A and B are shown apart, each in its own frame.
Chain A
Amino acid sequence: MKIDFTVNGKPHTVDVAPDTPLLWVLREHLELTGTKFGCGRALCGACTVHVDGQAVRSCAYPIEYAQASQVQTIEGLESDRIGEAVVNAWIDLDVVQCGWCQPGQCMSAAALLKANQSPDREAVDASMSGNLCRCGTYSRIRQAVDLAAKNLREGAE
């Protein structure tokens, strides 16, 4: 099946089985390997991307649903100021350990900050709990979301 869609602002056409998860189209056809695979069943969040502004688990998102949509991946996250603030906060606080989960964490965090400029701990915990980190970097993820939110608020003043 032919799918036309946009990834990080660039138009793409792929011809794949319609049930192919967006994840594998990104990783294997477009060679955008920043989006990670951790479970394949929407249980870990490693594959989180934005489709038309919504955070989705790309491992469980058949490519046919992406027809004509705008996809943003970690490789394009820094194109807006929220994404940039998230990435910078993550780097500033050395959140990563192995790093495998972190692009997905950043995508979820950016989606959260787009919806809520000043998330409290409960809001952070609630919207980040779909993203597993086997290395256990949760404390720093919380701090990084707070830092990104703070920098965004200050930058907006």
Chain B
Amino acid sequence: MSGAKPQPASKISRREMLESLIGGSGLVLALAYGRPLRAAVVKQSESLATDFVPNAFLRISPAGEVTVIAKHDEMGQGIHTGLAIAICEELEQDPRQVTVIPAPADPAYGNSAYQVQVTGGSTSSWSSLEQMQQAGAVAREMLVAAAAARWGVDTSACEARDGAVHEKSGSRQLSYGELAVDASRQPVPEDVVLRERKDFRRIGKPTPRVDSADKVRGIAKFSLDQRVPDMLTAMVVRCPFFGGTLKRYDVSRAEAFPGVKAVVRVPTGIAVVAEGYWPAFRARELVEAEWDAGAGGSLDTGELRKLYHEKAKQPGMVARNDGDAIQALSNAELTVEATYELPFQAHAPMEPLSCMVILKEDGGAKIITGSQMLGADHPAVAARLGVDPSRVEFQNSLLGGGFGRRANPQSDFTIEAVEVALAAKSLGRPIKTVWNREDDLHGGWYRPMYLNAIKAGIDNGKIVAWHHRVVGQSIAKGTPFEPLMVQDGVDQLSVEGVADMPHGIPNLTVELHTISLPVPVLWWRSVGHSHTAFAKESFLDECAHAMGKDPYQVRRELLQGHPRLLRVLDLAADKAGWSKAPAPGVGRGISVHESFKGFAAHVVEASVENGRPRVHRVVVAIDCGLVVNPDQVVSQMEGAANFALSATLGSKISFSQGRVEQSNFHDFSIVRMNEAPDIEVHIVASDDEMGGIGEVGVPGVASATCSALFEASGRRIRRLPVEDQLA
């Protein structure tokens, strides 16, 4: 059963999709209005006249301060540190002694994988490593040239090391700060030679995070922490039903509340603008609004589940078709069948959303925000204001979690904040629109609800047929991007992880039903893989049990010819002690999955205590190719395990009579310290192609956990979250 190459119906990758959607959507995108790179950086500081600014990613002041301008947004994944390491590798500088700041909105900071300024798709490290090395190398060459000129020697007589240029044969040295002014006058080298992997001094070595101390001490500035003189705070009353409209409202009590400056109508509802959070929050409660529920008024999770199950009985759009699965199923000795369900899921970044808008006299604006997608927000704001994008300045912040919520191609919270500012323009003051947790959980843009219905045919202890139907909303549908992201009716984001499964099953059909609902949906850490991996890996476990085989060995057989998947699988099994029996009462589950060019395997140990699931231990093996900062890969795997466990065990978004049933962390239940398992992470030393990290640790957790719970209790969980299903 060795690896037939997967043949998805459409071979377009997510990257190509985004590229084409960006290039062809007709929207004004970041690339349409280039400015010189230097201009992009000049906005960052006034003291630049004497700074050495070799490119958009780096500047060095005469005082010796090295500043890295980060093209990727730091939301916890450690990318500010990673970018600094890559630059410092070639710059010959201690990454612990650089300052990293978020980039402004500018095409110079476009994601090299997507050609638009966005942090997502686990692309940051692999897509920009070389670009950052180059940025550092260019600067180094210019510093060396400046020193050589100063000493009247050849550049070959000079060497850059640890923040200074040294004369090889002598004792003379000049620090980068001392060389900054001269280096600016050196020509920018056209070609630079980058160090080979084996010579790396910083890439791959454990490096402390550049942002730890400021974050721990509460000094680091997130969007919600940003303050400007005279600012006001706005909170918006939004329709409790998706797709509803405002019928009648009375704001007189809200307007009269002390501290309230204005109550204004905006497209998403009614905004209360006040002197600070508390008066805005209190006065918002006094707004009386009556809504026409519209299409979303009847949303009900029970009804949706019925609809999804009905759909799954009918043929869908074909996402992949190898051989003849129907025929093979009817001929098979043994068939296995199961249906897996996953709810809507909120990102719930720990820092609630906020966005400050300062309108300018020229019709433009300054926006202070926390965004993963300035490449969408910038042109969207310019379009809304009707000005050239050069009149709209963005100041990004550290993000208190993102998970996809802050990368909205429709710029929901950014545009809403602009609407509030415009509606309350007469106040003439900066306005920060702030969401609280209730707003966040009620606010939509969820991971879609999905159902996966799978049948397998087994002959002679081998899976010979796999028939898989996915039912769910499309993330792309209903957006301007639909024609480009949805190929032949199939949104690739709905089926990724199964339409490309590499298991060499000769008869394999994957179909998709795209459901239309008024609920706005968005990518959620690991996107389609978050549901397909749960279904695929859970079902493989069920097939293994049906065949009386070891779930680990079944995967080994199916993945022959896929060395990277096999390697992480073997490593996780080995480190978890798969060959030895677990402790009494403890069940064990295993999974292996590729996503975002990264490969991860999980072994989870769990038991059921008083009817509640209890996860004891998670062993993760990860292969992401070249590692920039090993401790941050470990950290991402640890975090991803807990993030995924929350969605496995407790968190969900559900509807009753059109309303979201959850409102805050008491009923949107995420893993707490007393439920957090021990997590062991093992990184494969790999010379293979570099891949993603941040999302790669999520997909495999749910199935491995449910397989472990099955082994512990004999009860199979096919609907997430587990909640009280084992009671």
Which residue of the partner chain, among A33, A95, A135, contacts B350 with CB atoms under 8 Å? A135
Q: Given A94-B631, A102-B215, are A125 and B76 neighbors across the interface (CB < 8 Å)? A: no
Which residue of the partner chain, among A24, A33, A106, A139, contacts B676 with CB atoms under 8 Å? A139
Expressed in whole angstroms, the Cα–Cα distance for A128 and B674 within the complex equals: 8
B211 lies within 8 A of A99 (CB): yes
Which residue of the partner chain, among B211, B218, B348, B641, contacts A134 with CB atoms under 8 Å? B348
Closest chain-B Cβ to A5's Cβ sits at a distance in Å of 17
Q: Which of B137-145, B219-227, B468-476, B527-535 contacts A (4 or more CB under 8 A)?
A: B219-227
Determine the chain B residues whose CB is within 8 A of the CB of A37 once the complex forms: 224, 277, 351-352, 436
Q: Given A98-B401, A138-B642, A138-B671, are A28 and B676 neighbors across the interface (CB < 8 Å)? A: no
Q: Given A17-B258, A132-B670, are A38 and B350 neighbors across the interface (CB < 8 Å)? A: yes
B664 lies within 8 A of A43 (CB): yes
B218 lies within 8 A of A38 (CB): no
Asked if A58 is an interface residue, CB under 8 A from chain B, the answer is no
A97 lies within 8 A of B666 (CB): no
Q: Given A136-B638, A136-B671, are A39 and B217 neighbors across the interface (CB < 8 Å)? A: no
Which residue of the partner chain, among B208, B213, B217, contacts A34 with CB atoms under 8 Å? B217
Expressed in whole angstroms, the Cα–Cα distance for A126 and B676 within the complex equals: 12
* Interface magnitude class on chain B: 35 or more
- Residue of B with least CB distance to A38: B350
A97 lies within 8 A of B665 (CB): no
Expressed in whole angstroms, the Cα–Cα distance for A32 and B224 within the complex equals: 12
**Which residues from 634 to 693 on chain B have a C-beta closer than 8 Å to any C-beta of chain A?**
635-636, 638-643, 645-646, 664-666, 670-676, 678-679
**Which residues from 38 to 85 on chain B have a C-beta closer than 8 Å to any C-beta of chain A?**
75-78
Determine the chain A residues whose CB is within 8 A of the CB of B278 once the complex forms: 16-17, 19-21, 24
Closest chain-B Cβ to A38's Cβ sits at a distance in Å of 5
Expressed in whole angstroms, the Cα–Cα distance for A32 and B227 within the complex equals: 11
Expressed in whole angstroms, the Cα–Cα distance for A16 and B666 within the complex equals: 29
Determine the chain B residues whose CB is within 8 A of the CB of A99 once the complex forms: 76, 211, 215-216, 220, 222, 398, 400
In the complex, per-residue mask of A20-48: 1 if CB is within 8 Å of any chain B CB, else 0:
11001001100111111111110110100
Which residue of the partner chain, among A103, A136, A142, contacts B639 with CB atoms under 8 Å? A136
A96 lies within 8 A of B215 (CB): yes
Expressed in whole angstroms, the Cα–Cα distance for A73 and B219 within the complex equals: 12
Closest chain-A Cβ to B639's Cβ sits at a distance in Å of 4
Which residue of the partner chain, among A20, A74, A128, A137, contacts B217 with CB atoms under 8 Å? A74
Which residue of the partner chain, among A97, A125, A130, A133, contacts B78 with CB atoms under 8 Å? A97
Closest chain-A Cβ to B128's Cβ sits at a distance in Å of 20
Determine the chain B residues whose CB is within 8 A of the CB of A41 once the complex forms: 437, 664-666
Task: Please indicate which of the listed interface residues B278, B352, B638, B641 has the most CB atoms of chain A within 10 Å of its own CB.
Answer: B278
Asked if A61 is an interface residue, CB under 8 A from chain B, the answer is no
**Which residues from 245 to 262 on chain B have a C-beta closer than 8 Å to any C-beta of chain A?**
258-259
Task: Please indicate which of the listed interface residues A17, A43, A96, A130 has the most CB atoms of chain B within 10 Å of its own CB.
Answer: A96
In the complex, per-residue mask of B345-375: 1 if CB is within 8 Å of any chain A CB, else 0:
0001111100000000000000000000000
Q: Given A96-B209, A97-B77, A138-B676, are A132 and B215 neighbors across the interface (CB < 8 Å)? A: no
B276 lies within 8 A of A28 (CB): yes
Closest chain-B Cβ to A26's Cβ sits at a distance in Å of 10
A36 lies within 8 A of B351 (CB): yes
Expressed in whole angstroms, the Cα–Cα distance for A142 and B641 within the complex equals: 16
Expressed in whole angstroms, the Cα–Cα distance for A17 and B635 within the complex equals: 42
A94 lies within 8 A of B208 (CB): yes
- Residue of A with least CB distance to B403: A134
- Residue of A with least CB distance to B642: A136
Determine the chain A residues whose CB is within 8 A of the CB of B666 once the complex forms: 41, 43
In the complex, per-residue mask of A73-112: 1 if CB is within 8 Å of any chain B CB, else 0:
1110010000000010011001111111111001000000
Asked if A7 is an interface residue, CB under 8 A from chain B, the answer is no
Expressed in whole angstroms, the Cα–Cα distance for A24 and B209 within the complex equals: 29
Determine the chain B residues whose CB is within 8 A of the CB of A106 once the complex forms: 216
- Residue of A with least CB distance to B678: A139
Closest chain-A Cβ to B119's Cβ sits at a distance in Å of 13
Expressed in whole angstroms, the Cα–Cα distance for A126 and B675 within the complex equals: 10
Closest chain-A Cβ to B429's Cβ sits at a distance in Å of 15
Expressed in whole angstroms, the Cα–Cα distance for A150 and B227 within the complex equals: 39
Expressed in whole angstroms, the Cα–Cα distance for A87 and B643 within the complex equals: 24
Which residue of the partner chain, among A90, A124, A132, A138, contacts B212 with CB atoms under 8 Å? A90
B673 lies within 8 A of A141 (CB): yes
B672 lies within 8 A of A136 (CB): no
Asked if A13 is an interface residue, CB under 8 A from chain B, the answer is no
A87 lies within 8 A of B399 (CB): no
Determine the chain B residues whose CB is within 8 A of the CB of A32 once the complex forms: 218
Determine the chain A residues whose CB is within 8 A of the CB of B398 once the complex forms: 98-99
Asked if A129 is an interface residue, CB under 8 A from chain B, the answer is yes
Q: Given A36-B400, A131-B673, A135-B76, are A91 and B350 neighbors across the interface (CB < 8 Å)? A: no
B216 lies within 8 A of A44 (CB): no
Closest chain-A Cβ to B505's Cβ sits at a distance in Å of 34
Expressed in whole angstroms, the Cα–Cα distance for A135 and B637 within the complex equals: 10
- Residue of B with least CB distance to A25: B278
Q: Given A36-B351, A75-B217, A102-B216, are A129 and B672 neighbors across the interface (CB < 8 Å)? A: yes
A132 lies within 8 A of B400 (CB): no
Expressed in whole angstroms, the Cα–Cα distance for A157 and B401 within the complex equals: 40
Expressed in whole angstroms, the Cα–Cα distance for A149 and B699 within the complex equals: 36
Closest chain-B Cβ to A35's Cβ sits at a distance in Å of 7
Task: Please indicate which of the listed interface residues A27, A32, A37, A128 has the most CB atoms of chain B within 10 Å of its own CB.
Answer: A37
A137 lies within 8 A of B639 (CB): yes
Asked if B279 is an interface residue, CB under 8 A from chain A, the answer is yes
Closest chain-A Cβ to B526's Cβ sits at a distance in Å of 14
- Residue of B with least CB distance to A122: B674
Task: Please indicate which of the listed interface residues A16, A28, A138, A140 has the most CB atoms of chain B within 10 Å of its own CB.
Answer: A138
- Residue of A with least CB distance to B281: A40
B227 lies within 8 A of A125 (CB): no
A44 lies within 8 A of B350 (CB): yes
Determine the chain A residues whose CB is within 8 A of the CB of B218 once the complex forms: 32-36, 73-75, 103
Determine the chain A residues whose CB is within 8 A of the CB of B211 once the complex forms: 96, 99
Determine the chain A residues whose CB is within 8 A of the CB of B401 once the complex forms: 98, 100, 134-135
Closest chain-B Cβ to A138's Cβ sits at a distance in Å of 4
- Residue of A with least CB distance to B436: A40
Expressed in whole angstroms, the Cα–Cα distance for A21 and B279 within the complex equals: 11
Expressed in whole angstroms, the Cα–Cα distance for A41 and B671 within the complex equals: 17
B350 lies within 8 A of A132 (CB): yes
Q: Given A106-B216, A132-B672, are A140 and B76 neighbors across the interface (CB < 8 Å)? A: no
Residues of B participating in the A interface, judged by any CB pair closer than 8 Å: 75-78, 208-209, 211-213, 215-222, 224-225, 227, 233, 258-259, 276-279, 281-282, 348-352, 398-403, 436-437, 631-632, 635-636, 638-643, 645-646, 664-666, 670-676, 678-679
Residues of A participating in the B interface, judged by any CB pair closer than 8 Å: 16-17, 19-21, 24, 27-28, 31-41, 43-44, 46, 73-75, 78, 87, 90-91, 94-103, 106, 124-126, 128-142
Given contact pairs A17-B279, A19-B282, A129-B672, enumerate 20 new A-B contacts (beta carbons under 8 Å).
A17-B258, A36-B351, A36-B400, A37-B277, A37-B436, A39-B437, A94-B212, A98-B76, A99-B76, A99-B220, A100-B350, A100-B351, A100-B401, A101-B350, A103-B217, A124-B673, A132-B665, A135-B350, A136-B638, A138-B642
Can you name 11 A-B pairs with beta carbons within 8 Å? A37-B277, A37-B351, A39-B664, A44-B350, A46-B350, A90-B216, A97-B78, A99-B220, A100-B222, A131-B673, A140-B635
Task: Return the 8 tightest CB-CB contacts between A and B, nearest first.
Answer: A34-B218, A136-B642, A99-B215, A97-B76, A100-B400, A98-B76, A138-B676, A33-B225
